[in-house]
Structure 1
Amino acid sequence: MDTMRDRFAPVLSRLLDENPRVVVVLAEIGLADFGEARQRHPDRVINVGIREQLLIGAGAGLALTGLRPVVHTFASFLVERPFEQVKLDLGHQGLGAVLVSAAASFDWPAGGFTHMAPGDVALLDTLDGWTVHVPGHPDEAETLLRHAVAAGDEKVYVRLSVQSNAGGLPVDGVRFRTVREGGSGVVVAVGPTLDTVLTATEGLNVTVLYATTVRPFDAAALRRAVESAGTDVVLVEPYLAGTSTAAANDALADVPHRVLGLGVGRAELRRYGTVEEHITAHGLDARSLRDRIGGFLDTSPARLGGVPSGTLSTVDRRV
């Protein structure tokens, strides 16, 4: 199966042919994938070299001319390194662009911590007005990329990953999907975590929601789910643990509830290993998730005290 990033260049090349507003801005990474498109559209496939601040600045400048810039590089170089330009050149000036990342959170362990960005979504959360798509399969990535490009002049982040579910689901760029129904809690699986979450919760009486668009957060879907499944909520995210706990708490502000955020821990894993080893080390493999989710849904204090690498947010007025 091709990866999300394998799908990126062919889809965007077709969008260049279809839409004269689209322009691609690169910083060396991914340039070879746009060879034919660059020949057809030499003025709309732009490489700024290894200058990530310029990458965002150039995208903002192109947006000022009425174009729809699609800006691409590794997440650590797209969101973290040029964050001031994302904040000012795009946000402060009220300009839209599509930022498309690769390699987050730890998709290329051999690159080391400089090429990892588990905090990218949390960092964008400090800014106003960003839509964030986290596809879980190449088919979903294609759909969400098309949504992003077509989204007028909005600010959109599309987070691509080598991690993938076995199959794609229909996604609309807005809502969470209900993929399993139960009555003893809600688990929200984000993007490529879905297959593992479904394995981990097999036989547990929980509702599983699938999220590929995490900002804006689908508060209505979560509220509907807790009405029938109970007000214990677990978020499983492929980036920094706890990134969406505040959004879930806000969605349920008038409802007594508990939220557990699972994801990538804050500690740097300096023996970089493989993607699978990182998943296990952060407790995001099926066995660990089953223990952690099951322990949370069991309300005994002993079980709640043994949850590693997650963040526990308790808002419970029932006692």
Structure 2
Amino acid sequence: MRRAFLNRVSDMIRNEQDTTFFTVDIGMWAIRDVLKEFPDRCTNVGIFEDGMFSIAAGMASRGLIPTIFGIQPYLIERTLEQIKMDLAYQKLGVNVVGTGAAVDYPKYGYSHYCAEDVQIIKMIPGCEFVAPGSAKQFIQLFNQSYRDGHPTFYRISDHPNQEYDVDVTFGKANVIQKGQKATVVVVSIMLDEVMKVCKNQDVTVLYYTTLEPFDHETLSENCPTGKVLIVEPEFEGSLLYDVHKALPERALQIEQVAFPREIFRNYGTYQEKMEYYGLTASHVEAALNRLV
């Protein structure tokens, strides 16, 4: 996904005169030619995330289309005041692309984790949150939304889906399959793991890559039993409010496969962490069995 994003940025800067790009000492080598050729619109600002947000906001206020790039916890947690005041309050369209979500950088420890990203951004009115499951989906979602005038956060991952790479539309969920026993709401890079379990089951699978705004209508129309399994690569409960909002006045039975709400103090590989915290097909199967 990172390569697809940087290629898209290079194309954008070369061909769209009203676009700008800023990064914080990450990804420079891949776009070094663009940084050199367009120093007035394409800049490495150094380790200065909060300042980068304010610079981008200033450019957006003058009608430019800024895109900024960094590591997810530093883009979201370090810059929360700038997100709130410079972007959301001012209603400015800035595209924020973050890598290293949740536990994508396992060897660097807790400072590089960000399982809380979805909840933080969803609590700031006017912001959008996009979580593609593949490089193709990032390009589709970015092209559909990068000029919509909203602060839009794109979470990219180094661990995309390999088998299920469907076309996606900003703001809409995909109905992967329909069934009667339960509805599985699956987010982003978890689709492959979910389909290992669900492809031969009598359950509905809804695939979400836009988490804000959330597509309540598709869930409302595809939940015949009130039994819902939420599978999301972020803190558990990140989409719980939206699931309840989509299904008002209904008795719900909900299971969740997600990161637990705790500080991650252990170490290991990415796959070891996904197994330890229960984000694998076997855990999806166990949760689905409890549900149905």
| Fold shared by both chains (TM-score > 0.5) | yes
Q: Select the residue among 82, 86, 91 that pairs with 2:83.
A: 86
Instruction: Report if the CA contact (8 A) 2:59-2:65 is conserved.
Output: yes
Give 2:197's aligned residue. 200
User: Aligned ranges for residues 1-319 of structure 1 at < 5 Å?
Assistant: 4-151=1-148, 153-167=149-163, 168-226=165-223, 229-297=224-292
Instruction: Specify the code of the residue in structure 2 equivalent to 1:154.
Output: H
CA contact (8 A) 1:243 1:261 kept: no
Q: Distance in 1 between matches of 2:254 and 2:244?
A: 7
Q: Which amino acid in the other structure matches residue 153 of structure 2?
A: Y
User: Which ranges of structure 2 fall in alignment gaps of 5 or more residues?
Assistant: none
> Aligned letter for 1:289?
V
Deviation, 1:264, is 1.1
Cα deviation digits, residues 249-305 of structure 1 (max 9, x gap): 0111133323333211122332221111111111111011100121123xxxxxxxx
2:179 counterpart SS class: coil
CA distance in 2: counterparts of 1:166 and 1:34, whole angstroms: 26
Shift of 1:64: 1.4
In the TM superposition, residue 111 of structure 1 has moved relative to its aligned partner by 1.1
User: How far did 1:202 drift?
Assistant: 4.0
| C-alpha contact 2:258 2:279 (8 A) present in aligned 1 | yes
Please list the CA deviations of residues 89-108 of structure 1 after superposition, one character each: whole Å capped at 9, or x if unmatched: 11122212111000001111
Q: Quick one: distance in 2 between partners of 1:124 and 1:133? A: 11
The CA distance in 1 between the partners of 2:91 and 2:175, in whole Å, is 34
Give unpaired runs (5+ residues) of structure 1.
298-319
Q: Secondary structure at the match of 1:104?
A: coil
Give me the whole-angstrom Cα distance separating, in 2, the residues matched to 1:18 and 1:261: 44
Percent identity, aligned pairs only, is 28
TM-score normalised by the chain length of structure 2: 0.96
Q: Look up the SS of the partner of 2:17 in the other structure.
A: coil
* Separation in structure 2 between the aligned mates of residue 15 and residue 261 of structure 1, nearest angstrom: 39
> How many positions carry a matched residue from both structures?
291
Q: State the distance in 1 between where 2:12 and 2:151 align.
A: 18
Instruction: Please provide the CA RMSD for this pair.
Output: 1.3
What is the deviation of 1:72?
Answer: 0.8
Aligned partners of 2:54 and 2:86 also within 8 Å: yes
Q: Is the 1:5–1:162 contact (alpha carbons within 8 Å) kept by the matching residues of 2?
A: yes
Give the Cα separation in 1 of the matches to 2:14 and 2:76: 27
Question: Would you say the 8 A contact 1:106–1:118 is kept in 2?
Answer: yes
**1:89 partner SS:** helix
